[in-house]
Amino acid sequence: MLQSTFAAIVPIVCVTLAAIAAMVAEAFRAKDERMPIGALGLIGLGFALAGSVLLWGRNATSFGGTLQADKFGLFITITLVIVGVLTIMLSGPTLERENLPAGEYYAVTLFAIAGMMIMAIATDLLVIFIALEILSLSVYVLTGMRRDDPLSIEGAFKYFLLGAFSSAFFLYGVALSYVLTGSTRLDRIGSYMAAEGMNVSPMMLMAVGLLLVGFAFKVSAVPFHMWTPDAYEGAPTVVTGFMSTGVKAAAFAAFARVFLSAFEPLRADWTPVLWGIAILTMILGTVVGVAQSNLKRMLAYSSIAHGGYLLVALVAANEVGKAAILFYLLVYAVTNLGAFGVIALLGTKDRPNDELRDYAGLWQSRPALAALMTVFLLSLGGLPPTAGFVGKWYVFSAAVRAGYYDLAIIGMLTSVVSVFFYLRVVVMMYMAEPAEGVSRPVIGTLAFSALAVSTIAIFYLGILPTRLLDLAAASVGTIF
């Protein structure tokens, strides 16, 4: 039985208070004073994790049911907490090296996480839109945090302009849904769609199409991916890792909740469109990624391809596919944050060290980092015994069980091709002679610990994935 309380927003409140505390700490910090502002974020995220665990299974609601902390939303919330903790642990060297304002950085990051959490548990289209704008505005600021870097400003500007267009599409979709059903609540929209049965009007399809465009932009699906490479390259590397994981997790959570509950009765109409987008996304992300020599742009196209794999699970929409979405999002989060973390930690004040040639001979100068980067890349490529292999296995299994053999075949082929650009980095690290003039900074204990935790998670979920998969299956059963 649903409990109408404010308990559902406890994790969000914890993160928001931590963001406010970071802002206040920055305001009272002396000019040259070193203050552990990041610790405030870790404390807030710790309380958010505790709150999520305590809420598990209670199905608490807030604000008239527009926010519902069911197991599905809490699974994504915990994933976002993990993303936030790893991001903060990896951020210290970047802030110090690039002389970025720590209070502003941590506050905006925490506000973005709060928006993502709202998006994960929202059951109302307007609330989803508000959450989308909270996280989007925060990420725009983080992308352009290096105000004296033309690439950063360009990436933030492109992201902002295209993001504004996608938000307009989404809001028009919300408006049409309200005109049709008289409500923006997902349950009421679903009831209306089910009652209409075969009487599908053009306005219904238009509403679905506009919402699809809004979500496709956030998950970097083709042809709405144009912002991704420039924004990823221009943002500070640790921010890029945060964008590629947190935003994708929140967007896919809302995407799945809206389309597999409210618009489930229209599935026969939107599935073919999503099928085509999934194929284009997997192919473009893989093929263009092969041609990249900059690791951030390569991982940007890799992120696009991984979004395509998640769309495959969304198209399949059977029990395995729904559980695979949650499992894959968590696996992708720890893996991609680890890969971007290595790139961020190898950068120096003079050069970012994010070109392929900069990794020549890394094994000789930083063997531990080379080994960790190898694990992250192999997991992104889907090779056993990493978690990436298990995630892709379940996604493609879901497609086969649903009868989408074409999606499974294209997914496997693009995965094989993608291994080339991942292994190219590995070969460069182990078999090439060290590049001249490339300095290797000293890695701090906290940042290295974040990479180690990610590596342990990758092997654990790759060898013993059953427990998390069962948890994911139980989570999706609460709403679909």
CA distance 320 to 324: 6
Query: Of 219, 230, 242, 387, whose CA–CA distance to 304 is shortest?
Result: 219
Task: Specify the pTM.
Answer: 0.95
CA distance 167 to 130: 10
Query: Of 60, 54, 57, whose CA–CA distance to 2 is shortest?
Result: 60
Region 286-304 average pLDDT: 92
CA distance 262 to 87: 33
How many residues are listed for the chain in this entry?
A: 480
Q: What is the pLDDT of residues 5-39, one digit of tens each?
A: 788 899 999 999 999 999 998 888 777 667 788 89
Region 87-105 average pLDDT: 89
Query: Residue 236 corresponds to which tokens in the numbers above?
Result: 């500070």
Radius of gyration of the chain (CA): 21
The answer to which of 127-131, 238-242, 257-261, 347-351 has the lowest mean pLDDT is 347-351
CA distance 368 to 230: 30
The DSSP element (H or E) to which 62 belongs, if any, is strand 60-62
CA distance 346 to 369: 9
CA distance 480 to 458: 28
Query: Of 74, 81, 72, 90, whose CA–CA distance to 7 is shortest?
Result: 74
On the question of a cis peptide bond just before residue 150, with omega within 30 degrees of 0, the verdict is no
Number of domains in the chain: 1
The answer to whether 239 touches 142, Cβ cutoff 8 Å, is yes
Domain that residue 349 falls in: 3-476
CA distance 166 to 162: 6
Longest Cα–Cα distance of the chain, Å, equals 69
Q: What is the pLDDT of residues 139-183, one digit of tens each?
A: 999 999 888 888 889 889 989 988 888 999 999 999 999 998 889
What are the two backbone dihedrals, phi and then psi, of residue 289, each rounded to the nearest 5 degrees? -60, -35
